Chain A
Amino acid sequence: MLRVLALDEERDPNAEVVETEPERLDPSMFGLLYEQHRLAVYRYLRARTRSEDEALDLAGITFERAFTGLGRFRRRDGGVQAWLLRIARNTAIDAHRRHRPTVDLAGADAQLGRRAIEADRLQGERVEILDLVTRLPSDQREALLLRYAGGLTAREIGVVIGKREGAVQKQIERGLAALREAF
């Protein structure tokens, strides 16, 4: 049976785990892999979706896809968490496009973000900062979501979105600067 980790036992976003991860994954590792990364995947998807149910559904699809495609994992592609969040991101994009083919991504994301806020009835600064994040340019918003909801490093984010680490770092800095200015 699955050993349940306390949420705060799950992966430390600042930990340099990539170097200690295996070159390839095999099915025997998947249970532990799921335990370690499920919360990061959920949080990233939750930040992109309207409800907990939707985020959980996409997280389920993400891990189903990951299990099916274990043989495709290569450590050099950024490590397990980056790999999972890349699948999660594609899953979210797929879901979005299936349901809203005519709405531009940035606008829809902002709309979804606001709905998420309403649904959760978040208060005070949380609402304010999430609302500000949804107004950022899409590349900055994506970098911040992967960094602070997904827990990835700039290098890992670069693998997920196909940009260099330095470019990702700039997007994060610009996003943070915009938020600072707004505050």
Chain B
Amino acid sequence: MTMHDEIEARLIQAFELSPSEDGLRRLDQRVARAMTQPMAIPFRGLRTRRLFLRPLLLLAAFVLLTGAVVGGARLLDQIFESSGMPAWRIAWDRAEKLDLTATDAGVTITLERAYADLNQVLVGFTVEGLPAAPVTGHGEAYPIEWRAELRDPTGRTADQWATSGTGTTVADANLSAVGNFWEGAVTPVAGTWVLTFSSVGYNAGGWVSGECFVGNTDPTCDNPPPNAMIDGTWRFEFALPAPAGTVLSPHVSQTVGEATLTLTELRISPTMITARIALRVEGGTVADWGPAIGWGPWVHNASIRRDGTEYAINSITHVTQDPDAQGPYGDVNEFMTIVGADAATGTWEIEFSALRYRASIYDPIEGEGIQLPGPWTLTVSAP
């Protein structure tokens, strides 16, 4: 062993400190609580209740490096072509072409297209006239941020029906393009939608990991740039046809022992299939539940199938986070797929190889929770 090896061994041994069991448990619980909070998508005007955002739908920002100035519609095309999400492409291709423009505070927003089916609403818009985006410590341009309120033909704002929202952006020179989705039970009527932006810009104040707090002058910190949001009013009214899709309300159940799993709603639309499923345990409390073996939203042991064709689930929304708000069927989750179907006809089968639940979200997270061995299968036929 060389001297350096010996010194290294001593260093490793010196730093080999582990927290106490109690300390580690507290840390586990703290992180678990953080993970059960909704991941806010700031400045979209949405109340997001989704526990875990769709992996492929996390905010993505791209800055084109070609140097060529590209038109807004073309930028939006690039978003949907490069997303790897067939459902996004379908939504964009089927969207109503609007080309509506509003200017305020020197900033012009152009609403290029809008689309609605029974599972989600998409708007594609461009923003022109913002100052150059500030650059992060990693040399990346900060993505554009915005506040917007979407009102459906019945007058409901998105926070009344959307369970989550997401956006994807692309920027080229002084032009930014945004695809903004609201996901949830879209009202099934044709009519006039109203989209109102109240702020647009950069760094609205959301915390960015790796950065120090604003005002920290330590040169080793990667500080966020100053707030660069521009307030104004950019209002758009546009008509959309009745959203495509079918809603089934089967209320089919499977009961094993004290536990009952109920499919209360299946929404089938061209871009997504959403299964709303509730778990109730007689004489007990279900604070949250999932199909996972292990902890976390690992949905690989759950499937939605129709006549042998599988529609991959990649997201779960915990709808009833407050146990007191649960209805007669118990704690409700929404399971969402990454592809949809134009027609509902066929036999739909939703299967979980096993379930688990917690009686309290503050329960210790070690162990496996309360297991409900499966398989659990819910079947519904659509004519």
Does residue B257 face the partner (Cβ distance < 8 Å to A)?
A: no
Interface string of B11-35 (1 = CB under 8 A from A): 1111111111001101110111011
Does residue B106 face the partner (Cβ distance < 8 Å to A)?
A: no
Which 8 residue pairs spanning A and B have beta carbons closest together? A69-B209, A26-B55, A31-B296, A149-B15, A1-B369, A148-B11, A2-B365, A27-B52
* Interface size of A as a range: 35 or more
Do B58 and A71 touch (CB < 8 A)? yes
Known: A1-B368, A26-B55, A86-B210. A42 touches B7 (CB 8 A): no
Do A26 and B222 touch (CB < 8 A)? no
Do A43 and B17 touch (CB < 8 A)? yes
Does residue B74 face the partner (Cβ distance < 8 Å to A)?
A: no
Which residues of the other chain, B, contact A7 by a CB distance below 8 angstroms?
Answer: 18
Do B31 and A63 touch (CB < 8 A)? yes
Tally of A-B residue pairs with Cβ under 8 A?
A: 171
Do B366 and A1 touch (CB < 8 A)? yes
Known: A2-B365, A74-B138, A126-B14. 4 other contacts (CB 8 A): A67-B39, A69-B208, A72-B210, A90-B212
Do B358 and A1 touch (CB < 8 A)? yes
Does residue B207 face the partner (Cβ distance < 8 Å to A)?
A: yes
Which residues of the other chain, A, contact B295 by a CB distance below 8 angstroms?
Answer: 1-3, 31
Of B17, B20, B32, B39, the residue contacting A2 (CB under 8 A) is B32
Give A122's nearest chain B residue, CB to CB: B14
**Complex CA–CA separation, A42 to B27 (angstroms):** 10
Interface of B is mostly: loop
Interface string of B100-125 (1 = CB under 8 A from A): 00000000000000000000000000
**Complex CA–CA separation, A60 to B15 (angstroms):** 19
**Complex CA–CA separation, A176 to B4 (angstroms):** 7
Which residues of the other chain, A, contact B365 by a CB distance below 8 angstroms?
Answer: 1-2
**Complex CA–CA separation, A129 to B14 (angstroms):** 7
Does residue B65 face the partner (Cβ distance < 8 Å to A)?
A: no
Does residue A24 face the partner (Cβ distance < 8 Å to B)?
A: yes
Do B138 and A1 touch (CB < 8 A)? no
Do A97 and B218 touch (CB < 8 A)? yes
Does residue A87 face the partner (Cβ distance < 8 Å to B)?
A: yes
Does residue A56 face the partner (Cβ distance < 8 Å to B)?
A: yes
**Complex CA–CA separation, A30 to B295 (angstroms):** 10
Measured CB to CB, the closest approach of chain A to B358, in angstroms, equals 7
Q: Pull 7 A–B residue pairs with CB atoms less than 8 Å apart, ordered by A.
A: A38-B24, A56-B26, A67-B34, A90-B221, A125-B14, A129-B10, A161-B220
Of B19, B51, B213, B356, the residue contacting A94 (CB under 8 A) is B213
Which residues of the other chain, B, contact A64 by a CB distance below 8 angstroms?
Answer: 30-31, 34
Measured CB to CB, the closest approach of chain B to A62, in angstroms, equals 9
Interface string of A1-39 (1 = CB under 8 A from B): 111100100000000000000001011101110100011
Measured CB to CB, the closest approach of chain A to B49, in angstroms, equals 14
Which residues of the other chain, B, contact A27 by a CB distance below 8 angstroms?
Answer: 35, 39, 51-53, 55, 297
Give B223's nearest chain A residue, CB to CB: A90
Measured CB to CB, the closest approach of chain B to A26, in angstroms, equals 3
Does residue B298 face the partner (Cβ distance < 8 Å to A)?
A: yes
Does residue B216 face the partner (Cβ distance < 8 Å to A)?
A: yes
Give B364's nearest chain A residue, CB to CB: A1
Measured CB to CB, the closest approach of chain A to B334, in angstroms, equals 15
Known: A2-B295, A47-B15. A56 touches B210 (CB 8 A): no
Does residue B328 face the partner (Cβ distance < 8 Å to A)?
A: no
